[in-house]
Amino acid sequence: MDAALHHHKVVSMDSEFPGFLRKTPRLSDELSAFADMKFNVDNMKIIQLGITLSDENGIIAGTWKFNFKFLIEMELFFSNMFTHVLSRHRDLKWLTFHGLYDLAYMVKLVTKKPLPVSMLDFTEIIATVFGCCVLDVKYMARFYDDLHRGELGLEKLAKILGVKRVGGSHQAGSDSLLTARVFARMKTMYGIEESRFVGFLHGVTTRICEPVRTQVLPTFPLYCEPGIPQLCQVLPAYRYCRPMIHGVFLHPPIIQHQYKELSDHCEMGIRQVWACNLMEELQKMDAALHHHKVVSMDSEFPGFLRKTPRRSDELSAFADMKFNVDNMKIIQLGITLSDENGIIAGTWEFNFKFLIETEVFYDPKSIEFLKESGIDFEELRINGIDQLFFSNMFTHVLSRHRDLKWLTFHGLYDLAYMVKLVTKKPLPVSMLDFTEIIATVFGCCVLDVKYMARLYDDLHRGELGLEKLAKILGVKRVGGSHHAGSDSLLTARVFARMKTMYGIEESRFAGFLYGVTTRICEPVRTQVLPTFPGYCQPGIPQLCQVLPASRYCRPMIHGVFLHPPIIQHQYRVL
């Protein structure tokens, strides 16, 4: 859908929901009708959402029918992903048929909040989230006698216009497709001037139009290159506007509650993350990142297909690593967040789907070793996180936090698997390109604790593993060894202890990895590329974004790789 939206910007929508708790009499006033709708929508959940994409000539790109579980977690998941897609496409035209309730459920989905208290506020929030170009086909039909002045339902109107339905009635996908085709036929037959109808809904007198802008709020931290000035963003004077990024609601006020809860229980242990609780835990991590910007990471992966001899040159070592990482999948990712004083906000252990039966490449000895360490591969098979989905959501979190410091221990492979996850591409062909892409995605403030230990005799000049180094420093492990979460937490605590004991000057070590001579630093910028369409208010100028001169730079948004070149391939298939 995201790929198709680049060329098919007319979005027809329909929803199915579980009826009406309060039924509104036909001739009720608008105030009563809105109160009834608010009560119904606030207390019930959407069942289906249908979306059909077409272009201005009525050419259909595709129809999608989203089927929801009656679980709040699934609604939150869809909301975050759909909001992410919306944030990349501002110039859309929205079509509905008698669409008041459809838009109401969409507003509830995207904002994750109850509907506002008045029709005026409701139309303003529609304009804020979706834009003002909303057309209601039933409202348009009111102006044509041969269409019974809008008194007919969608099915009968389609019959008059000679438009056949595809699929079953009262199915959101089929209804959205029929709405798109009816609209295209009406445009052909009546030469409709759309500007007359923009913003009007059937049965509503208040027009959807852009609210008056009176506030200038700074944007959330964006994941762009250092030194690029950040625009302040003009937002409507409306309480639903914050927190937002590009006019789309992200993580409503529960953030502060989640962050407080997380801080109060920072020693509660390692948070196990599976497919079922991924969204909830990513939201907590996102909240904690506002105050805990030191990110310690570790990964577990299925061994080495090519083992690199100890004294190999850097070129051979990188070639072996590229072969291993390109052909295998990450099993666990551990992330620990802390502040500059070493205060831990929390540790997350992400468990990825891994099917030994279907994986072609892995080291059987490494798999057995991980099993002996306590990693449950049956649980990974059943409840593991899809890597592509994680990549999209984790990238979304990264895009909101630029000023992070990344900690690793002998972290070359950890960073390699992270780069592969985020870019969704094989590793680049050289160590120089690899370090440049690390700088582009994560920034230049990357510290390797094993590299730092090389400068201290009493730490055996970096020749020890993490466990032995922690023992020398008097740092105890929480959790089991060879688990990504526990290792990331131990890395964070070892680093904090080293800072305390040795008064480490971090700038000396930033960008250096153990066993690598090429430093991670910002590549020379020579290209100026426009950003992807931001979902901000109409009329707000868009900055061109300065990006590194690297083939990995496009397509990007705020310096984070989103949907690499497979987009065009996906769109062609669609």
Q: Cα-flanking dihedrals φ and ψ of residue 71, to 5°?
A: -130, 130
Q: How many Cβ atoms from other residues are within 10 Å of residue 132's Cβ? A: 16
| CB burial of residue 478 (10 Å; 0-12, 13-18, 19+) | middle
pLDDT of residue 400: 85
**327 alpha-carbon distance from chain centroid:** 25
Report the share of the chain in percent with pLDDT over 90: 51
Q: In DSSP terms, which residues pair with 332 in a beta bridge?
A: 300, 351
pLDDT of residue 70: 58
Domains of the chain: 4-210 (3.30.420.10), 251-518 (3.30.420.10)
Decide: 162 and 172 in contact? Cβ < 8 Å: no
Report how far residue 533's alpha carbon sits from residue 237's, in angstroms, rounded to the nearest whole number. 23
DSSP H or E segment with residue 296: strand 294-300
Residue 221 has pLDDT above 80, yes or no: no
Handedness of CA 93, 96, 101, 106 (dihedral sign): negative
Q: Which residue's structure tokens are 């979304």?
A: 396
Q: Which residue's structure tokens are 């590229």?
A: 322
Report how far residue 535's alpha carbon sits from residue 2's, in angstroms, rounded to the nearest whole number. 14
Decide: 394 and 352 in contact? Cβ < 8 Å: no
Cα–Cα distance list, 150 to 42, 201, 204 (Å): 28, 12, 14
Give me the amino acid identity at 177: L
Q: 473-488, pLDDT tens digit by residue? A: 999 999 888 899 999 9
Residue 50 has pLDDT above 70, yes or no: yes
Residues in Cβ contact with 218 at an 8 Å cutoff, skipping those fewer than 6 apart: 230, 232, 233
pLDDT average, residue stretch 212-240 = 35
Q: 501-511, pLDDT tens digit by residue? A: 988 888 889 98
Report how far residue 21's alpha carbon sits from residue 7's, in angstroms, rounded to the nearest whole number. 40
Report how far residue 42's alpha carbon sits from residue 65's, in angstroms, rounded to the nearest whole number. 22
pLDDT of residue 276: 87
pLDDT of residue 358: 77
CA atoms within 13 A on the CB side of 458: 7
Return the SS3 of 389. helix
- For the chain, the residue count is 574
Residue 513 has pLDDT above 50, yes or no: yes
Q: Is the pLDDT higher at 108 or at 88? A: 108
Decide: 271 and 346 in contact? Cβ < 8 Å: yes
For every residue of 99-112, DSSP letters joined together read -HHHHHHHHHHHH-
| CB burial of residue 502 (10 Å; 0-12, 13-18, 19+) | middle
Is the overall model pTM greater than 0.95, yes or no? no
β pairing state of 48-54 and 134-136? unpaired
Residue 213 has pLDDT above 80, yes or no: no
pLDDT of residue 260: 38
Residue 550 has pLDDT above 70, yes or no: no
pLDDT of residue 100: 94
β pairing state of 544-548 and 556-557? unpaired
Report how far residue 494's alpha carbon sits from residue 509's, in angstroms, rounded to the nearest whole number. 15
For every residue of 227-243, DSSP letters joined together read TPPPPEEEEESSGGGSS
Residue 530 has pLDDT above 50, yes or no: no
Decide: 434 and 317 in contact? Cβ < 8 Å: no
pLDDT confidence of 232, banded at 50, 70, 90? very low
Asked if the peptide bond before residue 226 counts as cis, ω within 30 degrees of 0, the response is: no
Give me the amino acid identity at 428: P
Give me the amino acid identity at 47: I
Q: 118-163, pLDDT tens digit by residue? A: 999 999 999 988 888 999 999 999 999 999 998 999 999 999 999 9
Q: 347-405, pLDDT tens digit by residue? A: 999 999 988 877 778 888 888 999 888 899 999 999 999 998 899 889 888 888 888 99
pLDDT of residue 503: 87
pLDDT of residue 74: 60
pLDDT of residue 212: 55
Cα–Cα distance list, 374 to 96, 369, 380, 482, 483 (Å): 53, 9, 12, 9, 8
Return the SS3 of 42. helix
Decide: 398 and 422 in contact? Cβ < 8 Å: yes
Give all strands (DSSP E) within 376-521, no chain letters.
Answer: 405-408, 446-448
Q: 5-47, pLDDT tens digit by residue? A: 999 999 999 999 999 999 999 888 889 999 999 999 999 999 9
Decide: 299 and 484 in contact? Cβ < 8 Å: yes
pLDDT average, residue stretch 304-326 = 91
Return the SS3 of 347. strand
Report how far residue 311's alpha carbon sits from residue 305's, in angstroms, rounded to the nearest whole number. 18
Q: In DSSP terms, which residues pair with 20 in a beta bridge?
A: none
